[in-house]
Structure 1
């Protein structure tokens, strides 16, 4: 089985939106989270979708799933107090229904600018190598500083990448790591960081362009502009 685990349990404090969480902000009347889910709904290799959602918005999410004819979502799980806790809750909900070798793609609910090919590359790489981490090459120099005031190191730009999503694993491997982190008191930034904490070799899949995470108001406007540009290219050929 191949499952997309989409986590959208945050309140979006950096978005400064008092009316609704960032994942439910709408473009052309459709919430961001639905744009994200549709990539996995339409992908022929995805068998199942599990969404981790802010508990008070689960009822609203169910309404949108019905409205947009989303049929692959099998479970909606209440989110945790942080992103890593939400992922843990989602992985825990898969126990008993997923085998150790099943593939799980972990993806941000507010990262809607992906495509079918990126999902396919993640699945193929995880099947072949055990995991797949979507990454984007950096185009500017990365500064390393331990105190925020002085530069400790500037690594070679050609060796620097930014971790994106999806991040894809065999279910048994990633579930064991999150359980271990829970026991050890680790709070990973994301699943790739968790692998790094435990010395797991990770395999890069090159990201699609503009694979942004919608976190702050400017991200929403970038998403809107990019989405409209893609629509114009498809409809008008411009």
Structure 2
């Protein structure tokens, strides 16, 4: 079976009047976010998908110079097409431009949605193997009221049956082209291409949309878009804490923070009993909701007898990376009467940094005594407490 040809229509024919800001004449699709025009980012999102074979952009008749100034160059980019007086007419112009090539599938994308991910685009394409149309949607979370006159509530809608539509919307080319041609002959304006498909009797599937796939419509949407680019909305910070204690037993050294320190005792435990790294490892696990050391490295498993605790710490760091997270900072406090910790702090920070692949400036190691009080004051053992601050992708 030959590979499918997949065309994309980018609808950029509007003047962007609702997003116009005082003193800024550029239509929204040509304004910049993060230093790049919105339209450039939208087109780039589809050029990044290898399955896409051609892209046509629909522009306003007055925007030829603006589009040319973008300087876009790619073999898959067709010359821009002038759009019509409505979005529906503009999409039809794009379909007519693609008709000689007769692609198998077509994706239709609003130029003002610059953040469609490769995953989202791929999901829409994938859904077309089973359905005649597909679009990303998000569940409606607000309570929706219906009003007949705009002043009084008539009824409350069942939001469990309501979904907000996004683009790209995908279709089998021949079917959506035929549906658009028919729709152009009736005295009705359709709000999106999925509505035309529904009206024409095509089956339209829903795939999971993305909160970051916003449509830039109003002036404050540009600030929203900038925050998405800088990660303020893409990531969230989580805090984990860890606590560990080990008693002393006869010996001549202790392991603390991955450093071997000569001492009159050693710490009792299944592994190397590095109380500082154990607390720190548990703090990282806690920040990403991954249990504790005992879950991943049970003391009943003899393979961890005498194991270096850097193995546990490295595993926690690998789980952060697997979750697409980032360690922001780590803080460890060691409570003991001895040994002296301060001379070894730089070495501890270095070991921790190298184990996790982060800068030592993100790591704090501190020590204190319990003023001769309690079991640490009686030199019966050592306590360590730790906290971990980690950024992970936001989950709504």
TM over 0.5: yes
Q: How does 1:174-193 map to 2 (within 5 A)?
A: 174-193=176-195
Matched, 1:161 2:126: no
Matched, 1:95 2:127: no
- Could you tell me how far apart the structure 2 residues matched to 1:137 and 1:45 are? 28
Partner residue of 1:141 out of 140, 143, 150: 143
Pick the structure with more strand per residue: 2
Query: Counterpart in 2 of 1:25?
Result: 31
- CA drift of 1:232 comes to 9.1
- Please list every run of 5 or more consecutive structure 1 residues that lacks an aligned counterpart in the other structure: none
- Could you tell me how far apart the structure 2 residues matched to 1:62 and 1:163 are? 31
Gap change, CA 1:146 and 1:201, over 3 Å in 2 = farther
Partner residue of 2:89 out of 79, 85, 89: 85
Residue aligned with 1:105, SS? strand
Tell me the matched-pair count: 234
Gap change, CA 1:235 and 1:72, over 3 Å in 2 = farther
**Which segment drifts farther, 75-84 or 6-15?**
75-84
Partner residue of 1:53 out of 46, 56, 59: 59
- Could you tell me how far apart the structure 2 residues matched to 1:206 and 1:62 are? 34
- CA drift of 1:167 comes to 0.6
**Which segment drifts farther, 20-29 or 194-203?**
194-203
- CA drift of 1:235 comes to 11
Query: Counterpart in 1 of 2:7?
Result: 3
Greater Rg by CA: 2
Query: Counterpart in 1 of 2:277?
Result: none
Residue aligned with 1:168, SS? strand
- CA drift of 1:148 comes to 2.0
Query: Counterpart in 2 of 1:111?
Result: 113
What RMSD over aligned residues (CA atoms) do the two structures have, in Å? 2.2
Contact kept? 1:34, 1:65, Cα under 8 Å: no
Contact kept? 2:134, 2:171, Cα under 8 Å: yes
- Please list every run of 5 or more consecutive structure 2 residues that lacks an aligned counterpart in the other structure: 236-323, 328-390, 392-396
Matched, 1:63 2:59: no
Contact kept? 2:34, 2:226, Cα under 8 Å: no
Partner residue of 1:35 out of 41, 44, 49: 41
Query: Counterpart in 1 of 2:19?
Result: 15
- CA drift of 1:58 comes to 2.2
User: TM-score, normalised on structure 1?
Assistant: 0.90
- Could you tell me how far apart the structure 2 residues matched to 1:164 and 1:87 are? 16
Query: Counterpart in 2 of 1:173?
Result: 175
Specify which structure has the bigger relative contact order, considering alpha-carbon pairs within 8 angstroms and separated by 6 or more residues: 1
Gap change, CA 1:232 and 1:216, over 3 Å in 2 = closer
